[in-house]
Amino acid sequence: MERYNHREIEQKWRDKWTAANVYKTTEDSGKKKFYILDMFPYPSGVGLHVGHPKGYIATDVISRFKKMNNYNVLHPMGWDSFGLPAEQYALKNKVHPRVAVEQNIMAFKKQLEKISLNYDWEREIATTDPSFYKWTQWAFLQMFKKGLVFQSNEPINWCPSCMTGLANEDLENGACERCGTPIEKKKIPQWVIKITNYADRLLADLDNLEWQDHIKELQRNWIGRSEGAKIQFKIKNEELKIEVFTTRPDTLFGATYMVLAPEHELVEKLKVKSIKNTEEIEVYQKETQTKTEIERTAEGKEKTGVKLEGVTAINPANGAEIPIYIADYVLADYGTGAIMAVPAHDMRDWEFAKKYNIEIKEVVQFLHVDKTKNSSPRQDLPFIERDAIIAIVKHWQENTYLTLKWKQVDWATFITGGIEDGQTAEEAARMEVLEETGYKNLKLVKFLGGLHSKFFHNPKNVNRFAHFQSFYFELENDEQDEISPEEQEKHSIVWMTKEEIKKTINESQLIDFERIFEDKIFTGNGIMVNSDEFNGIDSEVAKKMITEKVGGKMTVNYKLRDWVFSRQRYWGEPIPLIHCEKCGVVAVPENELPLMLPDVESYEPTGTGESPLAAIAEWVNTICPECGGDAKRETNTMPQWAGSSWYHLRYIDPNNENILIDKDKEKYWSPVDFYVGGAEHATRHLIYARFWHKFLYDIGAVSYDEPYKKLQTVGIILAEDGRKMSKRWGNVVNPDDVIERFGSDTFRMYEMFMGPFDASVAWSTESLIGPRKFLERLWKFFGRGFSDVTDPQIEKVLHRTIKKITEDIDAMKYNTAIAQMMILLNAMEKFKAMTVRDMEKFLLILSPFCPHIAQELWAQLGHDTFILQEQWPSYDVQYLIDDEITLVVQVNGKVRDTITVNAAISEDEAKTIALASANVQKHIDGREPKKIIFVKGKLVSIVV
């Protein structure tokens, strides 16, 4: 037998498979369908590196596995070929984008073919193909007709380097996701899709998807649902009202000023007659506009704003007259673009109010329910309410604090006590300190605020619901009165350091203690104060009550923004709309689709906010399909995400000229059963595609309302140096080189063996040797010939391997599946004797991973069939059962012996054998076993 020659074998079988068209897929109602999809690549100029095919290999393994298990599998591939990079590549290399895309697709395809992925290439699609984008445009027109598309003149995100507007999703930390250039706000007319109409469904339907939880969580955060209230504030001496959205209507009594976004329309209206400092306002508005997103949101940036002089608002809760500001910390496009500011309970408002000396009014106080062992409230006791004080007293010289250690029980506190009638809280605090410790000369440093606590008062054996006011004093000297004998009996005075306090004092008092050192504001829920009739109730409950009282209404808000859909670039689908002076904006008639992207002299971006298409007069000038008069075409193009939002459907029916997708075919194949791709698409492509698909569902074009039933993300392959593979670092590994040297099978196997599928692992050419050696050893084993019977030891491992691989492929645990095949080969080499029949089983389970060598050896065994079309082997349970098992014997939790026993051993027998072990006896050391635990099939644990 010749040496394992991967080049010869792999080329031979690739040719044969292609000639026989083995990957062709047709509808077959007799079989269960399985649609498995890769995120299609962007055919860039640089070609594939070793990381790209990882996901493709995985889906290829599953696809082959499913085919061998009698599924009718749809496994297609295509190209996401519109968009900026192609255009930029074309500009740089002075070729037309169409030509560049064609070349790049050819190059990509050539690379992919070497890996022998079982795609049905007859279903290949490209988003730049007019027969494809006809339907992208068609779907857009349906949205337009349903009123889901509107034109906006609001400032949008503009990338000055890419010279195009961008959607919210295209930003990364306030910069362009592609080029890293800080985003500016620019006012240009934009087509926007009301994706927010779908926010609730996009959120709710996540629950029914078999996606990884962290991806769902990412989408939930991106959609950003928050519940709150809309409340209106009257403006004094004006007919106008300010409407705000707030998640904290309970804090309304604490709203001491209001803020409008600088771009808020009310500002312009108020300028007309009320605002006295118009000039100052306008300077600030200009500043806001020219700032980049990054400048506006820079971390640690001090808040800025300008007061609207001459205008005030009325707080609807208490009638208070409060000032109005404009400030750029309020965003125009979230909520109503205006807020009620509650500096006592919102960090941002607090910063602002401190800077501009605005009243800070506390309306919610912390409610602490003690959860520590000794102090958590007892279920069986009622709460006794009490107004009380806490006094924290610092030593006159040292860094220690006064505490009381109770003598009867294990309990230490600061000085606490009730407030008597006619006493102020501070008076009560001073009195308690004097009574309990005798210290007299207190200097008040800080009032720490209110705090409510539910706890079990251990010394007094009652449940307390205490309403504390807390004070921080410093002692001026050690002057001290005599303490009464009763007090002395109760507790002793202990001076504690910070560290000691943190260890001994109960939770709620610790919160007070921390307030000494930190300027913290309370932003949580708690007990209402300073809020008239709502005082004393739970702030969570007060939300609805206060909203109702002031005539507001509870509502829901989303962070998700509408989808800015216009790009001022050449290489995209033309937006099929026509501007007519008489008729307004009119849709291009559907029978004129596709609206072809015209050729153009210069497709460079203009940078003015106008698309390069605007320069082609003969294309732009058209007639209005409604009135027949002169009209102009829309010249913006669609974003790259348009085509990828529905491409999964087109594979099902790639050549249909009459309809987006044939309903019967769609019903047969849809939805995608398994979708594999990069996690970076979690908040863009996967949001857009879900939206687009849901829209198609709503208009009856498809029959299932989610596109991707199950989603799995791929972990990226890092370069050998641990960095990302990039031309810039010069650390890119090309799959062509690896396949040439080691073979496609080795390459495929290694990528699946590297680690867990969704983990990012560094490439290692050194480790690649492992899978290669495995294949060489298999080849060699084959050369040795076969026996009439298989060694029972091999048989056992073989059937376990079949079981494990069957399960592992389903669970996407390829690394352990391959490890198991290695274990099998190790056993084969050790025990040698194996029948042809059993070897066939091995080849069948190997074939999804390494199709070429499996097919070659399959043929060498005399088969003239394609292994892909064979049946997946089943395992025989009789080989899974062990007659003998190894029991672990522990003494006090430590392994002292292992004993080999019959699998059916009884508990008593096992215990007897375990106790008989010499080493076990040594560790029992004559003591009497307290307890012997027996776990069937696992262990005997002896406790002495």
Partner RNA sequence: GCCCGGAUGGCGGAAUUGGUAGACGCGCUGGACUCAAAAUCCAGUAAUGGCAACAUUGUGAGAGUUCGAGUCUCUCUCUGGGCACCA
| Residues with Cβ within 8 Å of residue 522, at least 6 apart in sequence | 344, 345, 362, 364, 365, 366, 449
Distance CA(223)–CA(203), nearest Å, equals: 7
Residues 9-48 that bind RNA (CB under 7 A): none
Q: In whole angstroms, how close is the CB of 880 to RNA at the nearest point?
A: 11
Q: Which is nearer to RNA, 136 or 157 (CB)?
A: 157
Residue with smaller CB distance to RNA, 217 or 479: 217
Contact assessment for residue 415 and residue 493, using Cβ atoms and an 8 Å cutoff: no
Q: What's the min distance (Å) between Cβ of 811 and RNA?
A: 9
Nearest to 293 by CA among 166, 408, 477, 197: 166
Nearest of 505, 522, 521 to residue 513 by alpha carbon: 505
User: Which residues within the stretch 725-764 sit at the binding site for RNA (CB under 7 A)?
Assistant: 753-756, 759-762, 764
Chain center to CA of 413: 44
Min separation Cβ 342 and RNA, Å: 7
Enter the DSSP assignment of 573: P
Cα distances (angstroms) measured from residue 499 to each of 496, 503, 510, 840: 8, 7, 11, 70
- Which segment (108-116, 140-148, 331-339, 425-433) binds RNA by CB under 7 A? 331-339
Nearer to RNA, 172 or 410 (CB): 172
Which of 16, 32, 286, 301 is the binder for RNA (CB under 7 A)?
A: 301
User: 252 exposed, middle or buried (CB, 10 Å; 0-12, 13-18, 19+)?
Assistant: buried
CA distance 301 to 387: 41
Longest alpha-carbon distance in the chain:
108
Q: How far is the CB of 701 from RNA (least distance, A)?
A: 30
Which is nearest to 689 in space by CA: 640, 754, 740? Answer: 640
Minimum CB–partner distance for residue 18 and RNA (Å)? 32
Cα angle 298-304-307, degrees, rounded to a multiple of 5: 160
Q: In what order do the strands lie in the sheet containing 674-678?
A: 71-74, 32-38, 674-678, 710-714, 210-211
What's the min distance (Å) between Cβ of 214 and RNA? 3
Question: Sheet of 584-587: strands edge to edge?
Answer: 584-587, 577-580, 630-633, 621-623
- Judged by CB under 7 A, the residue of 114, 813, 841, 911 near RNA is 813
Judging by DSSP bridges, how do beta strands 462-475 and 383-394 pair with one another? parallel
226 binds RNA (CB under 7 A): yes
Least distance from RNA to the Cβ atom of residue 761, Å: 4
Upstream peptide bond of 594 is cis (omega within 30 degrees of 0): yes
Residues from 630 through 689 that contact RNA (CB under 7 A): 679-680, 683
Measured at the alpha carbon of residue 533, what is the angle toward residues 529 and 537, in degrees to the nearest 5?
55
Q: Which of 69, 197, 232, 815 binds RNA (CB under 7 A)?
A: 815
C-beta of 560 vs 578, nearer to RNA:
560
- Contacting range for RNA; rule: CB under 7 A; set: 219-227, 481-489, 598-606, 846-854: 219-227
Tell me whether residue 167 or residue 672 sits nearer to RNA (CB atom). 167
From candidates 107, 521, 733, 769, binder to RNA by CB under 7 A? 769
Q: Residues with Cβ < 8 Å from 258, sequence gap 6 or more?
A: 233, 242, 244, 313, 322, 323, 324, 325, 338, 339, 340, 341
Task: Please state, in angstroms and rounded to a whole number, the distance separating the CA atoms of residues 65 and 78.
Answer: 22
* Interacting span for RNA (CB under 7 A) from 47-55, 290-298, 536-544, 633-641: 290-298
Between 145 and 832, whose beta carbon lies closer to RNA? 832
- Cβ nearer to RNA, comparing 699 with 935: 935
Q: Is 557 in the site for RNA (CB under 7 A)?
A: yes
Total number of residues binding RNA (CB under 7 A)? 86
Site track 245-284 with RNA (rule: CB under 7 A), x = hit = xxxx------------x-----------------------
Percent helix, strand, coil in the chain (nearest 5)?
Answer: 40, 25, 40
Q: Cα–chain-centroid distance for residue 515? A: 35
CA distance 542 to 552: 13
Using CB under 7 A, pick the residue from 200, 217, 427, 599 that binds RNA: 217
CA 606 to chain centre: 36
Could you say whether residue 303 binds RNA (CB under 7 A)? Answer: yes
Q: Residue 263 Cβ, how far from RNA at the closest point, in Å?
A: 11
Sign of CA dihedral 797, 802, 805, 808: negative
Q: Rg of the chain's alpha carbons, rounded to an integer?
A: 37
Structure tokens at 67: 């085919």
Interior CA angle at 81 toward 78 and 82, to 5°?
Answer: 140
The interface region with RNA, picked from 537-545, 572-580, 810-818, 864-872 by CB under 7 A, is 810-818
Q: Which is nearer to RNA, 129 or 169 (CB)?
A: 169
Q: Compute the least distance from the CB of residue 321 to RNA, in Å.
A: 21
Q: Is 299 in the site for RNA (CB under 7 A)?
A: yes
For residues 558-577, which are near RNA according to CB under 7 A? 559
Q: What is the C-alpha separation between 197 and 203, in angstroms, rounded?
A: 11
**CB-nearer residue toward RNA: 614 or 942:** 942
Q: Choose which of 204, 384, 444, 933 interacts with RNA (CB under 7 A).
A: 933
Minimum Å gap between C-beta 280 and RNA is 19
Nearer to RNA, 131 or 921 (CB): 921
CB of 381 to RNA, least distance (A): 25
Between 799 and 896, CB nearer to RNA: 896
C-beta of 773 vs 927, nearer to RNA: 773
Find the part of the chain contacting RNA (CB under 7 A) among 156-164, 439-447, 729-737, 936-944: 936-944
Find the binding residues for RNA in span 169-208 (CB under 7 A): 171-173
Report the C-alpha gap between 527 and 508 in whole angstroms.
Answer: 15
CB 843 within 8 A of CB 850: no
Tell me the window of 40-48, 425-433, 860-868, 933-941 that interacts with RNA (CB under 7 A): 933-941
Contact 516, 446 (CB under 8 A): yes
Q: Which stretch binds RNA (CB under 7 A): 69-77, 103-111, 691-699, 891-899?
A: 891-899
Site string for RNA, 837-876 (x = CB under 7 A): ----------------------------------------
